[in-house]
Amino acid sequence: SQQGEEDPQALSIQEGENATMNCSYKTSINNLQWYRQNSGRGLVHLILIRSNEREKHSGRLRVTLDTSKKSSSLLITASRAADTASYFCATDGGYTGTASKLTFGTGTRLQVTL
């Protein structure tokens, strides 16, 4: 079952513009992570935000988390053509049994054009 749902499913912007992607989830979490996947490649971890954090930055990335609304957003500022990829949020609900389970959403496909 999907925990995180990204919105929009697809986004097309021009180079230099900002891109915002949203993620909503259903149950309580320990942390939320964002990953990037270039076409035909594996996922690459971008940023992790814990449930007691509200905002986190990493280079051109800004992630916010609102646990009361069960939502997160990923902002990419000054986008570049190289940012073209699919972006996934993943929620970590904490340990269940022997390990924590990371549940992925269906992703937002970002296209950055010159």
For the CB of residue 6, give the shortest distance to another protein in the complex, in Å: 9
At its nearest, how many Å lie between another protein and the CB of residue 12? 19
Q: Minimum distance between the CB of residue 106 and another protein, rounded to whole angstroms? A: 4
Residues making contact with another protein (CB under 8 A) = 1-2, 4, 30-31, 33, 35, 40-45, 48, 88, 90, 92, 94-95, 97-107
Of residues 24 and 103, the one with the C-beta less far from another protein: 103
HEC profile of 43-95:
EEEEEEEECCCCEEEECCEEEEEECCCCEEEEEECCCCHHHCEEEEEEEEEEE
Residues 6+ apart with CB under 8 A from 42: none
Q: Which is nearer to another protein, 15 or 26 (CB)?
A: 26
